[in-house]
């Protein structure tokens, strides 16, 4: 699902940012704090429909606060120091008195360390500004919880923001994914024209399906996709003639995904089979090669590849005497 892929990307980048801020802080390098304030301004505007702006526009410095939404009467202090002293220091500022009289609510966003323990302490809110410990102390965990509950259109906006901010360079590892390359070649084939040159031992396949308790998906998955064995076999053989290891690496990668599923004793074999498909898809979607292929076609090609790996004895147990079933 796109939601899971987007969330994992967002969480990874915010986690890396927090660690970088902590490490740089120990070296007294504070430039990331400034960039983090801008990032979180845009992020919070999406998450909570705020219209936050820097509070120091046109001023040398705005005492006590970093961001302000004048319409929703919200002010936010963005900080990497998640301490009681930091909160008390802010609450005691004269600027807070002025904001309190105007009906503003004060929030803290801690962009590095978690702030869970700060919600259990007592503070000197001497100017009585609106400030609730549970609702107004945020950290990366709070923000990620909010992101995880967003509707897909909004989580897409967050994903786009984070991707633009972190601006990754093309990754040669991603660009050269052999699994993605096979999907790319397979997607260009005419799958309506299924060759009959390679005969399959259907009895052997059915025996392996039954042996592994996969009968529930025999018709919908195995019967549906095993017919493309010949097309994929031709692609693999072309790579072999060129001296390429693409086919070997692809099958071994699928085997590796399956081996991780085997360790989970609580899952049925049907669940394990579909988990392998999900893992292959997650791996493939990281490649730039997939940008021009509709996701429905990617999903279909991956199912063909995984069913083929089953037929080739690369995943799931084989009954006694069962070998590669092409005849």
Task: Show me where the domains of the chain are located.
Answer: 2-166, 172-311
Neighbours of 57 (CB within 10 A): 8
Neighbours of 300 (CB within 10 A): 18
Phi/psi at 283 (5° precision): -65, -45
Do 64 and 77 form a contact (C-beta atoms < 8 A)?
yes
Mean pLDDT of 236-262: 87
Determine the pLDDT at residue 79: 92
Determine the pLDDT at residue 58: 47
pTM of the model: 0.53
Least confident of 135-144, 161-170, 268-277: 161-170
**Among 28-42, 62-76, 209-223, 284-298, the range of highest mean pLDDT:** 209-223
| Residue 13 predicted with pLDDT over 80 | yes
Pairing of strands 137-139, 105-110: parallel
Q: Which residue blocks in 202-317 are alpha helix, DSSP H?
A: 202-211, 223-225, 229-241, 246-262, 269-285, 295-311
Least confident of 36-45, 57-66, 146-155: 57-66
**The domain defined by 2-166 carries CATH number 3.40.91:** yes
Do 18 and 115 form a contact (C-beta atoms < 8 A)?
no
Query: Dihedral angle at the C-alpha atoms of 94, 83, 60, 67, nearest 10 degrees?
Result: -90
Q: 93 pLDDT band (50/70/90 cuts)?
A: very high
Do 3 and 155 form a contact (C-beta atoms < 8 A)?
yes
Least confident of 6-20, 198-212, 307-321: 198-212
């Amino acid at each position: 699902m796109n939601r899971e892929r987007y969330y994992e990307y967002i969480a990874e980048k915010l986690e890396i940012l927090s660690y970088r801020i902590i490490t740089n802080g120990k070296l007294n390098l504070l430039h990331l704090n400034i960039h983090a304030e801008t990032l979180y301004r845009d992020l919070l505007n999406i998450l909570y429909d705020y219209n936050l702006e820097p509070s120091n526009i046109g001023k040398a410095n705005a005492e006590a606060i970093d961001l302000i939404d004048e319409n929703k009467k919200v002010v936010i202090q963005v900080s990497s120091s998640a301490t009681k002293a930091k909160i008390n220091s802010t609450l005691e500022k004269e600027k807070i008195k002025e904001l309190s009289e105007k009906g503003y609510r004060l929030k803290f966003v801690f962009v590095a360390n978690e702030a869970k323990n700060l919600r259990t302490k007592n503070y000197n809110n001497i100017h009585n500004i609106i400030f609730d410990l549970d609702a107004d102390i945020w950290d990366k965990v709070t923000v990620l919880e909010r992101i995880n509950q967003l509707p897909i259109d909004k989580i897409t906006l967050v994903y786009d923001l984070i991707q633009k901010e972190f601006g990754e360079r093309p990754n040669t590892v991603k660009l050269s994914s052999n699994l993605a390359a096979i999907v790319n070649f397979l997607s260009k084939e005419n799958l309506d024209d299924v060759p009959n040159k390679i005969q399959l031992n259907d009895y052997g396949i059915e025996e392996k399906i039954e042996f592994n308790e996969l009968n529930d998906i025999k018709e919908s998955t195995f019967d549906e996709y095993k017919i493309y064995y010949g097309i994929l076999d031709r692609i693999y053989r072309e790579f072999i003639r060129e001296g390429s290891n693409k086919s070997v690496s692809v099958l071994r990668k699928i085997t590796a995904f399956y081996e991780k599923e085997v360790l989970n004793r609580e899952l049925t074999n049907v669940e394990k089979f579909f988990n392998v498909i999900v893992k292959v898809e997650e791996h493939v979607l990281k490649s730039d090669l997939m940008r021009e292929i509709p996701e429905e076609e990617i999903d279909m090609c991956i199912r063909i590849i995984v069913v083929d790996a089953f037929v080739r004895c690369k995943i799931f147990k084989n009954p006694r005497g069962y070998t590669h079933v092409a005849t």
